[in-house]
Amino acid sequence: MDHHTLVRWLEAVLIIFALIAIWFSASNFSSVKRFLIGRPMRTSELHAHHNKLFWLIALPILSADLYSSVAYGPESGMTELAGLGPDAKWLIFPITISTIVLLAILIVSYIMGILAYPNGGGAYAIAKDNFKPRWVSLVASSSLLVDYVLTVAVSVSAAIEAVSSAYPVVAPYETILAILCVVILVLVNLRGVAESARVFAWPTFGFMICMLILIFTGFFDELRHGFIQPSTPSFGTVPEGLTTLLVLKAFSSACSALTGIETISNAVPIFREPQQKNAIRTYIALGSITAVTLLGFSYHLYAKGVTPDPHNTMLSQLTGMYFGHGILYQVIIWFTFIVLILAANSTFTGFSQLAAIVAADGFLPRSLTNRGDRLGYSNGIIVLASLACILIISFRAHTNALIPLYAIGVFLSFTVAQIGLMRRWKRVKGSNWKVKFTINTVGAVITSIVAVIFAVTKFTGGAWVVLVVLPIMIFISMSIHSHYEDVAKELRIDMQTIRPVASDVVTLVLVSGVHRVVNNTISFAKSLDVDPIAVYVGFDEQSINKMEKKWKDWGTPCRLVVLRSKYRSLLEPLNRLIKTIEAKQEAGGHIHIIIPQFIAHKWWHNALHNQSALLLRMWFIRNKDIVITTVPYHLHK
Amino acid sequence: MDHHTLVRWLEAVLIIFALIAIWFSASNFSSVKRFLIGRPMRTSELHAHHNKLFWLIALPILSADLYSSVAYGPESGMTELAGLGPDAKWLIFPITISTIVLLAILIVSYIMGILAYPNGGGAYAIAKDNFKPRWVSLVASSSLLVDYVLTVAVSVSAAIEAVSSAYPVVAPYETILAILCVVILVLVNLRGVAESARVFAWPTFGFMICMLILIFTGFFDELRHGFIQPSTPSFGTVPEGLTTLLVLKAFSSACSALTGIETISNAVPIFREPQQKNAIRTYIALGSITAVTLLGFSYHLYAKGVTPDPHNTMLSQLTGMYFGHGILYQVIIWFTFIVLILAANSTFTGFSQLAAIVAADGFLPRSLTNRGDRLGYSNGIIVLASLACILIISFRAHTNALIPLYAIGVFLSFTVAQIGLMRRWKRVKGSNWKVKFTINTVGAVITSIVAVIFAVTKFTGGAWVVLVVLPIMIFISMSIHSHYEDVAKELRIDMQTIRPVASDVVTLVLVSGVHRVVNNTISFAKSLDVDPIAVYVGFDEQSINKMEKKWKDWGTPCRLVVLRSKYRSLLEPLNRLIKTIEAKQEAGGHIHIIIPQFIAHKWWHNALHNQSALLLRMWFIRNKDIVITTVPYHLHK
């Protein structure tokens, strides 16, 4: 591990600390929290009536994730080919066409999904419904969760790269700006902006129009200057060093443009009636516009001979060629930025909802099901942001470096969902089930082949990480599930036979002298109507004698036991005393220690007082079956 | 702040986290701690009999800090002059001679200190004894503490630079190796190696012999090849650009060789009788050998025309010239390394003892007075190491970059001590008191002039940091003191009138359902002989109805209060309930909440369970005057 790798990891760890700290302090400082994320919302507001959406509005809202990928998909495909020189550039055509064919197959398969699960069924739900062994659905959920993390990292990085293409001055700060975007997305999502808010329709619409303008401008340009221009590379040549592996690699990179296709099928309930028909209509419209954009954009990149440049995205280069760097250029760049950020934003909802569903089934920590003040799954949001930040920092916000890890997860979950649907058609049957079965069979075969292609071609580039992480995640999910089942079994009681019964309690009160705090603590102990024993731990004879005398002078408010500590430890002599009591006590009895705790007026004053009460409590609670009572004493100064 | 500065700070923060984590985990994992720092020691072992030391053995033991500085003092003086070219090199003579005169004055002044405080009195003790306003002694202690931190950073950096001169391959890892040395020193000091252990005599002796061999070899070389060699720069020329400021700057850098001079005067009690005479003898011997070394070493550096090289210390260059890179070279380099590390090591004792003395007076957090398992002041050790690590990382372990911050503190505390002694002689009088008074007056004048020279010449180089930090430290110390006094006043009670009295208690038990944990908790509450009220917080009507039914089926073990939480918060409805109870309760009454806490079998299982009990407890303890009892339930799986 070289120095820079180390530094990156250090930074990543710090960012996560910072995010946790933000979250934690936001939870504690109510006013800051209110300012950042708004008033808390009632649970009942969750089911407040949503206006159902007209499909043409739903289209842009649900397509940010898929459609925004055109900003980096073709570019990452061409970057793979760049090593072979300009002679290889024409290969983007077969690659783009294959991608579009794949897109068509996926859309048709997903339409089958909508027919099967009109209430919205993600890959996890489909797998859960159609496979007995739980690990199959965990393959679907884990790979989707991993890919959501990558979507955030890739989209945010691509967004920042778009901006830094236009403003090279920000280029050195790409990583920190990307992190900043993630932090802002965290706040926005903790506020809980509804994913289906109409306001989200316009940027994506705007971006679609921008892309279409760009493509039409391209064709006008080519009509005027010829479809083969001086800058156009040769077509059909076989460049030296061309291998099938390389072409497949370029294809898998280009396929990163297909992620996000599952969004519509999860969101059927937000459409106006007839919901299924409208959702299907949206799928077809989105597929068509994406296909046109991918093909047109790739063609112009080829015709203009655009070459990958790490400091200037291809979209920015092409826009610059057609429009110069004027207002239209700015508009396109900023629409690209906004749409990519929206794509990341929609992933936050996707991730936290899926994590909550899986957690509710007991396969992830239950805290992922907690709704925050604004009804979003706050913990899932924080987890996603932290993981995305690690990726952004590790890869210094370079989209092309992240692409090799990307999209495998999605295609794995596509495959699981398709096979699930196949099983469903076979089981449920229904009208035209054989057609549907065939469509999903084709889908399953194709997506599994693509997944294998991804795994093989991108393996050394980073895909191995995903292939290592997935089985680990599945294993951990299974362990979590069995832990929850064990605990549930352990806690279950027979309500008729097991009922609370009082038993013997020995109450010890730790005292450190005779002063107001001790007075307060012993007053409480006496109020409990038990006979408390005061315990004093002395480090030397002198202080012990002094304490014994003081106690007498104080009128011996209760019995005092003095423990000698040769090693200046409170724990060790107390532990000895407790063992003695345990040995004498009958079964079922309780040992109860009352500890006073100083609460300073200003938080930093706590550093000036021994936190031994806190440490003792932690140790006893963890290691012994002892009840600990803390009596706070709030200092006035 | 550029990127690298940021990265350095990030790293520094992480190292400190790591040190705290090490310390914390070492406190928790007894076996690891035992392995690293050994069995705990009894308080009584503290005063175990020490063999008093013969002065010739005490000499090297107490001189590591002072004598090791010859390895970097002359070099940092010459580095300041390097910008003027070879013509300025001869200036090292007046500078070295001034340094030696200063050394002589300091030693004589410190001998006066020994005569005044034969039981050892550092600058802080002298100032405390002779000045009424406490801030004067805080100037002495704070500046010494700051300089101790710098001593560790400078010595360790110089040690690593010595090694990387011999082995350039380690040069890129200087910072991390320096940090490693500090971590090892922490462990050694937590083990609590006695500062006066005889074994520490030999490396310093060895280094002294090495330096003398080097100096004598130099003279033989000059006898054979002439005292003016081809490489010797011109003498007495006035190079262009020479300013008084620059000469004074070089002088103040060279004076970094004088730090550590106070060690012997603090350690009088470890000498054999007659203690004072032996300590004085040691001072004179150490002064002589240091003077010879500084002068001889500087002369040879000049004669050989050695030039500063950031990758090769001057000591290493000179040794290489005389002995090549054979065994003798290796011996000298490693002795240098060991002695510099020993210098840092002795500072650990100095810092933690001084911090403990100041803390015992109530001017620093009291936890600095706690003795660890091995009787060392563990917290002081950790604080020193953390601060030194920040410096090492901030300055990338470059000795010459650290020098400008160094030695001001020492000279400030020297001045305070000298003025304190002056006041003492005037007050106490005694034999020859006028002579002693005169000596300390001269000392005070000289050291204060030197301190001012330091502050002015090194101000922009970094000394301003020290001059900003010191008043802040003194202010904080005064605030700490007044906080401790306020608290003591607040806690004091009249033992005759204020005595513990029982009063009314309302006991609430938080329940989340009917299961083994709830059974356990209510059993405990019933054992207390109070009438507990079970409190259930429901997020929706369905779960509330279910709970109410279950409670009835369970035979209503105690009264159940159900709270509705519209905002999915436990805290908010509980807080409402508590306010209602408070309003009804008579003054002096207690509210007592019993909270069950899940303790998982494996620590990482805690991530799988809601930590709401913990968070609730934290909030109530901090914000309300409420007694909290935690009933642990230890899961078996």
Domain-embedded: residue B322: yes
Residue A38 domain-assigned (yes or no): yes
Task: Tell me the CATH number at A617.
Answer: 3.40.50
- A28: pLDDT strictly greater than 60: no
Q: State whether B73 and B137 are in the same domain.
A: yes
Q: Which residues contact B616 (CB under 8 A, 6 or more apart)?
A: B510, B570, B571, B574, B595
Instruction: For A460-517, write each residue's pLDDT tens digit.
Output: 888 888 889 999 999 999 999 999 999 999 999 988 888 998 888 999 999 988 999 9
Domain-located, residue B178: no
Q: B399-456 pLDDT, tens per residue?
A: 888 888 888 888 999 999 999 999 999 998 888 899 999 999 999 999 999 999 988 8
ipTM of the complex: 0.79
* Test mutation, B14, B371, B375, B483, chain A, max A CBs within 10 A: B483
* Digit-coded pLDDT (tens) for B526-563: 998 788 999 999 988 899 999 999 999 998 999 999 99
What average pLDDT does this structure show over B46-57? Answer: 70
Which residues of A, range 362-421, sit inside 8 Å of B by Cβ?
365-367, 370-371, 373
Set of chain A residues whose Cβ sits within 8 Å of the Cβ of B515: 491-493
CB proximity under 8 Å: B 16-45 to A = 40-44
Q: Which among B427, B603, B581 has a CA at the least distance from the CA of B504?
A: B581
Q: Show the domain range for B567.
A: 505-634
Handedness of CA A143, A145, A148, A153 (dihedral sign): negative
Of A491, A500, A569, the CB nearest to B515: A491
Asked if residue A252 is part of any domain, the answer here is yes
Tell me how close the Cα of B559 comes to any Cα of chain A, in angstroms. 13
Q: Is B590 on the interface with A (CB under 8 A)?
A: yes
Q: In terms of Cα–Cα distance, which of A586, A560, A181, A169 is closest to A345?
A: A181
A222 and A346 co-located in one domain: yes
Instruction: Judge whether residue A118 has pLDDT over 50.
Output: yes
In the structure, what pLDDT confidence band is assigned to residue B171 with cuts at 50, 70 and 90? confident
The answer to whether residues B436 and B529 belong to one domain is: no
**What confidence score (pLDDT) does residue B474 get?**
95
- The answer to whether B34 and A567 have CB atoms below 8 angstroms apart is no
CA-nearest residue of chain A to B11? A10
Is the same domain home to B102 and B216? yes
Tens-digit pLDDT profile for residues A392-432: 988 888 888 888 888 888 899 999 999 999 999 999 888 88
Quick: pLDDT tens for B68-121: 999 889 999 999 888 888 888 889 999 999 999 999 999 998 899 888 888 776
pLDDT of the residue at A1: 40
Would you tell me the crossing angle of helices B201-225 and B314-323 to the nearest 10 degrees?
Answer: 60
Answer yes or no: do B617 and A605 touch at CB < 8 A.
Answer: no
Pairing of strands B627-634, A627-634: antiparallel
The whole-number pLDDT of residue B614 equals 80
Q: How confident is residue A12, by pLDDT bands cut at 50, 70 and 90?
A: low
Average pLDDT over chain B reads 86
CA atoms within 13 A on the CB side of B579: 7
Cα distance from N-terminal residue to C-terminal residue, chain B: 51
CB contact under 8 A, B630 and A617: yes
Instruction: Report the number of distinct structural domains present in chain A.
Output: 2
A249 and A135 housed in the same domain: yes
Q: Are residues B407 and B276 in the same domain?
A: yes
Residue A497 maps to a domain: no
**pLDDT above 60 for B269:** yes
Least Cα separation, residue B583 to chain A (angstroms): 19
In a domain, B103, yes or no: yes
Report the share of chain B in percent with pLDDT over 70.
Answer: 91
Q: Which of A189-193, A338-342, B553-557 has the lowest mean pLDDT?
A: A189-193
* Residue B321 and residue B414 in one domain: yes
Mean pLDDT over the full length of chain A: 86
Residue B284 lies inside a defined structural domain of this protein = yes
**Closest residue of chain A to B173, computed from CA coordinates:** A3
Whether A530 and B529 lie within 8 Å, measured CB to CB: yes
| Model pLDDT for residues A208-220, shown as the tens digit of each residue | 999 999 999 999 8
- Contact between chains at B625 and A632 (C-beta distance less than 8 A): yes
Question: Which chain A residues are Cβ-neighbours of B607 within 8 angstroms?
Answer: 365, 367
Q: Is B629 on the interface with A (CB under 8 A)?
A: yes
Residues A451 and A553 in one domain: no
In this prediction, residue A192 has a pLDDT band, given cuts at 50, 70 and 90, of: low
Q: Report yes or no on B594 lying in a domain.
A: yes
Of B11, B487, B608, the CB nearest to A635: B487
- pLDDT attached to residue B362: 92
Whether chain A has a CB inside 8 Å of the CB on B628: the answer is yes
d(CA A575, CA A486) in angstroms, rounded, equals 31
Interface membership of B609 toward A (CB under 8 Å): yes
Span B308-357, pLDDT tens digits: 988 899 999 999 998 888 888 999 999 999 999 989 988 888 898 899 98
pLDDT confidence tier of residue A81, bands split at 50, 70 and 90: confident
Banded model confidence at residue B1, pLDDT cuts 50, 70, 90: very low
Band of the pLDDT at A45, cuts 50, 70, 90? low
Inter-CA distances, B101 with A240, A546, B251, B288, Å: 78, 54, 12, 11
Find residues 60-79 of chain B whose CB sits inside 8 Å of chain A: none
Query: How would you class B409 by CB atoms within 10 Å of its CB: exposed for 0-12, middle for 13-18, buried for 19 or more?
Result: buried
Of A232-236, A604-608, B224-228, minimum mean pLDDT range: A604-608
Q: Which chain B residues touch A4 with a CB distance below 8 Å?
A: none
CATH code of the domain in which A23 resides: 1.20.1740.10
Q: End of a domain among B435, B465, B480?
A: B480
Tokens at A571, concatenated:
């724990």
Per CB-CB distance under 8 Å, the chain A contacts of B486 are 637
Give the residue-averaged pLDDT of A600-624. 80
To the nearest whole Å, the CA of A392 is away from the closest chain B CA by: 16
Identify the pLDDT of residue B377.
Answer: 82
How confident is the model over A164-174, as a mean pLDDT? 87
Residue B505: beta bridge partners? B590
Higher-pLDDT residue of A233 and B130 is B130
Same domain, yes or no, for A355 and A444? yes
Q: Is A539 on the interface with B (CB under 8 A)?
A: yes
Contact residues on chain B for A590, CB-CB shorter than 8 A? 524, 527
Question: Do B462 and B523 fall into the same domain?
Answer: no
How far is the CA of B182 from the CAs of A6, B15, B127, B177, B391, in angstroms?
A: 20, 11, 31, 9, 12
Q: Minimal CA–CA distance to A141: which of A359, A349, A458? A: A359
Which one of A493, A568, A627 has the shortest CB-CB distance to B515? A493
Kindly determine whether residue A630 and residue B617, on different chains, have CB atoms separated by under 8 Å.
yes
Chain A residues lying within 8 Å of B609, measured CB to CB = 366
Q: Cβ contact (<8 Å) for A567 and B43? A: yes
Nearest to A630 among B498, B566, B628 (CB): B628
* pLDDT, average across residues A151-179: 90
Say yes or no: B419 and B512 in one domain: no
* Beta-carbon contacts below 8 Å between A and B: 222
pTM of the model: 0.77
Q: Does A360 touch chain B (CB under 8 A)?
A: no
Q: Does B516 touch chain A (CB under 8 A)?
A: yes
A542 touches chain B (CB under 8 A): no
Give the one of A7, A515, A599 whose C-beta lies nearest to B621's C-beta: A599
What 3-state class would DSSP assign to A628?
strand
Would you say residue B229 has pLDDT above 70? yes
pLDDT bracket for residue A623 (50, 70, 90):
confident
Cα atoms found within 13 Å of the Cα of residue A31, Cβ hemisphere only? 0
Q: Are residues A512 and A579 in the same domain?
A: yes
For residue B270, pLDDT beyond 70: yes
Which position has the higher pLDDT, A28 or B171?
B171
Higher pLDDT, A302 or B240: A302
Q: Terminal CA-to-CA distance of chain A, rounded, Å?
A: 51
Q: What is the DSSP letter of A276?
A: H
Q: How many angstroms away from the CA of A635 is the closest CA of chain B?
A: 7
Distance CA B579, CA B598 (A): 27
